Structure 1
């Protein structure tokens, strides 16, 4: 596989130079994108301004004599997408009671269809790409899919519970083909609490060992500290663990949602005193510049608004053009929210509110007004 030192790509009407494994990029005008596109096609030497730009951004210079040996240029897309997420499977080696996926079956596309789907994402213009699960790293084809997506010029984030990060092949993969972010969920500060939450013996030791290895390798890790009823007493200890042992950036999450099927089980796992108010929902780009793909190649506007959807494996990449209309229809305030006079200050998107309503949830947990129009 051609491993590029730099990636040049259109992105939502802009043009970016990126270094794989780093979230920051350099914006360039269209004429310089065209200059690089021509230089790569003809395998010319890199223009002097490119070395100046990369040295300023990342303190690196191209070592190849010709640009075609170091730079991958992405072509423009006829679609308007820039980001996507993909559940490579829903299987998981943890069994957390608050999981929003509900029943997690280990199943998904075969290898030929995985690569076909990834090709469609690249054709759609996707640049920033999240691989998630379930637990993505336990998929036997994860490494191959990750490498394939990397070769297409996708900037990859991996979301994981961290249970596999201690393994040598995973560390070697992420060191050789660096993701721009590894997002790791943390469920406790002691072995006993970790096992109570994940129902997996020895998981705390595997996760902390893996995070030690990520720190030593300088990988770009961000921690999601998940606070639930079973581990809330260790919230401060989890924060100290991240700060003092690894020094990774982190966020604390305490608000659970119903499952994607509208089941209420995760809500019972919330630690009520740790719940935080959501920010006012002002809209999002789901279905317009972003979309989500499930393990079977079915695309939806996001991880929450999964129905209606389009089947990429049956309809092909052109089906993505329908997601914008689906997004608009899902945001209409119908059903339980019809007649609300305070929609302008609502903190919950309509697809999420629908799941809460299907779960029979206490309205105060997702509606700050406590009642419609009151």
Structure 2
């Protein structure tokens, strides 16, 4: 497997090391120099030796670069990031989950490979693999390895239930992820197991986090605050800071399900709900997109309709997301006559809009 990636990225050029946060910006001329050096299997230029030593204290081999550097070609589509729900199944059953009913279904292996190749060809350099629970998919490890081999920097969103398993630790030691984003639902077994409705979940979770800390994996914790665990907020933060030393964020705002049901909102701990920032638009659909377990691409996890089916329409359909994004940014279906457009704190794709003859509300992204 390659040790370095060089790639276009939003009009710039980068040298990256898989599994590491730092990158090196380079001019186009040096990107072209590396393309030629890799194609001809030439030794690394002196500036690359200096850059890798400074960024990662990484020596380069004296021979040719073909086995060391993977060159990502320019893409006519211009996307840089994507998220992919490998499945919607989960081994937890949290009542506030934005997925609602969690069906374990998705693409077969051949179509997973085809989809990941399309993501590479679309220009995706950073890929988030999520779910459901991504790590329980029987083809997760193979898909993760394939995506890494295509030259994507992988972030994995997980509930951490599988991290205690030796095979997962061995996989991430061999192919280090860019980031492991792990949700934390409680500071005690009683609370954690009650929220996840999974007996013994807290014990498995803490063993997995202990193993990940020992292995030096790049874990980031999402501390999920709900009515059921609000009394353990300080204890959850203490786990993140004192037991594991992982960076963390605290999430307090719940979202409707992706099917429009409002049940998760009842789990919000009102004392901790935060005022959202003003919505000023975003570049989703233009440089970023989301793909569900069936290969259907939307502008993001929130704005799932309209969409394009990559498996039936192919990569050529992807640019339609730009127009879809612009239409979603203008949504005011739930706020007819609203005079607060310039001060609204709700992402426009969340607004009520007609869908399939009914009013439906889109969800916010999963708290992972």
TM-score (norm 2): 0.95
1:208-228 deviations in Å (ceiling 9; x for gaps) = 000000000000000000000
Q: Which residue in 2 is equivalent to 1:223?
A: 221
Q: Which residue in 1 is equivalent to 2:232?
A: 234
Q: Which residue in 1 is equivalent to 2:287?
A: 289
Q: Report matched runs for 1:251-262 at 5 Å.
A: 251-262=249-260
Do the aligned partners of residues 293 and 42 (structure 1) sit closer, same or farther apart at CA in structure 2, a change above 3 Å counting?
A: same
Cα distance in 2 between the residues matched to 1:21 and 1:255: 30
Q: Which residue in 2 is equivalent to 1:299?
A: 297
Cα distance in 2 between the residues matched to 1:282 and 1:206: 41
Q: Which residue in 2 is equivalent to 1:135?
A: 133
* Runs of at least 5 residues in structure 2 that lack an aligned partner in the other structure: 354-358, 364-368
The alignment yields a C-alpha RMSD, in angstroms, of 1.4
Cα distance in 2 between the residues matched to 1:40 and 1:271: 54
Q: Report matched runs for 1:1-374 at 5 Å.
A: 3-63=1-61, 65-354=63-352, 358=360
**Aligned-residue offset at 1:359:** 6.1
| Cα contact 2:350–2:361 (8 A) shared by 1 | no
Secondary structure of the 1:113 match is helix
Do the aligned partners of residues 321 and 359 (structure 1) sit closer, same or farther apart at CA in structure 2, a change above 3 Å counting?
A: closer
| Cα contact 2:16–2:24 (8 A) shared by 1 | yes
| Cα contact 2:332–2:352 (8 A) shared by 1 | no
Comparing 62-71 with 101-110, greater Cα deviation is found at: 62-71
Q: Name segments (4+ residues, structure 1) moved above 3 Å.
A: 357-361
Do the aligned partners of residues 229 and 359 (structure 1) sit closer, same or farther apart at CA in structure 2, a change above 3 Å counting?
A: farther
Cα distance in 1 between the residues matched to 2:119 and 2:275: 34
Cα distance in 2 between the residues matched to 1:49 and 1:62: 11
Equivalences, count: 358
**Aligned-residue offset at 1:334:** 2.7
Secondary structure of the 1:68 match is coil
1:159-191 deviations in Å (ceiling 9; x for gaps) = 000000000110011111000100000000000
**Aligned-residue offset at 1:354:** 2.9
